[in-house]
Structure 1
């Protein structure tokens, strides 16, 4: 069996400071075009950092709740343009780690950077590069699909919000429901609109917490197309319980157990059978 390597511990961890203020996202602008290229163009990322800078760099990151370490001394680095799938049983610390990297939760100790930006020192600037899709759609149920996206576009300072909103509604195939309030949407439609919300400001790094939860097959196909179209530079970090799906999508795989990394490597260094066997052996709970 090919074993996944364990990341080396790094020195120089520092405690984090006070909570960051609200984000001040970057402006983004797009122009309308043919229907054939609408989806691919709508998700093109805008980049400010050099490709040599890791999308994510983490050193000895920990999160403590009372006496329990939800995330324990985690260190890893992820190149730009990668797709990282994070696996582990319930309670392993997957979502807690994702929330820290997305600047939604303050680590107890350790350091992390996103696109070369310190999450401790410049959280607002880091948020300019972050998109997030989670169990919570972050949409307003009494607003229409179009009103929701317009609100987020203006909050993020998008240069041409009307064009960007129209573009993304077309991309996630909700243009025909743009004037309907979100509370009338199915779970799959709501998640598709949440994808558009997360991409409204062209983020470089998109965090996904169980993004396929509640999606119908058609919505899953749309989401798969989104992922396939992002390979030119945008970085995705996904928490998943579906070992096969997450493995097929990723360029890098990471396994957490009891808050610690038990395996982390590029997918090219092992096959699925090796990975599934390692997962069962190290986690001891089967395919979670």
Structure 2
């Protein structure tokens, strides 16, 4: 499998606090990777470095062979990002939000309208396309942010707690859209606390703790969800402050 993300000796400090400590990680093209860990483990920092939002203190980041320090704008064009923060413009309609980002992503002007219609239908917001995003519920805003992330058909999808604000029906629809984001070359990386859902969707499971990568296995090498939960608890030392598992 060809690699699309390569991290070498990656560290990140914020003042005296070390958020990431000497991480080496290679992710193959088309992999679906889930990242788990207690709050403060460094998961979100890792995704922000992959997406070039922040720079590492030490180490190298290659995205599809491109050094993140040399050409971050080119890397951003390859990435779609979904977060628990929606980052939408409340004063704009759903369609206007997507039009704004379509121009940022340099989507062919002749295809923008059709692409926006298609993605709004996929996230069940087509009938609300001309309503202001500020009038939407939390779940609707999250669905619109998912549409925005998929709009330019990225080759890498980075997701930080994407289920936030989604009810069961919306979550199922999100997964339908997620698993249909294109061909097998689309690489998906998801931070989540929901082990059951991730175990069903993903093909590789990582655990981070205290800024370090502590566990990295293919799902096929893990016997069951229960075995993975036991591994998780042994790694985070049964920290009662860790919010690392839902439905556990």
TM over 0.5: yes
Pairing of 1:117-196 with structure 2 (within 5 A): 117-159=66-108, 160-196=111-147
Instruction: Find the aligned partners of 2:199 and 2:21 in 1 and give their Cα distance.
Output: 24
What corresponds to 1:96 in structure 2? 45
- Report the Cα offset of residue 240 of structure 1: 0.8
Q: Deviation per CA, 1:244-270, whole angstroms, max 9, x where unpaired?
A: 222222111110000001111211111
Instruction: Find the aligned partners of 1:274 and 1:220 in 2 and give their Cα distance.
Output: 25
- Asked if 1:72 corresponds to 2:21, the answer is yes
**Larger relative strand fraction:** 2
Which of 270, 276, 282 aligns to 2:229? It is 276
What corresponds to 1:218 in structure 2? 169
Name stretches of at least 5 consecutive residues in structure 1 with no aligned partner: 1-51
- Asked if 1:199 corresponds to 2:150, the answer is yes
Instruction: Find the aligned partners of 2:192 and 2:30 in 1 and give their Cα distance.
Output: 19
**SS class of match (1:55):** strand
Which of 264, 272, 276 aligns to 2:216? It is 264
Contact 1:53 1:116 in 2 (8 A): no
- Report the Cα offset of residue 55 of structure 1: 2.0
Length-normalised TM-score, structure 2: 0.92
Q: How many residues align?
A: 237
- Asked if 1:85 corresponds to 2:38, the answer is no
Which of 242, 266, 274 aligns to 2:194? It is 242
- Across the aligned residues of Structure 1 and Structure 2, the Cα RMSD in angstroms comes to 1.3
Pairing of 1:3-82 with structure 2 (within 5 A): 53-82=2-31
Contact 1:84 1:236 in 2 (8 A): yes
What corresponds to 1:30 in structure 2? none
- Report the Cα offset of residue 232 of structure 1: 2.2
- Report the Cα offset of residue 162 of structure 1: 1.2
**SS class of match (1:226):** helix
Name stretches of at least 5 consecutive residues in structure 2 with no aligned partner: none
- Report the Cα offset of residue 188 of structure 1: 1.0
What corresponds to 1:116 in structure 2? 65
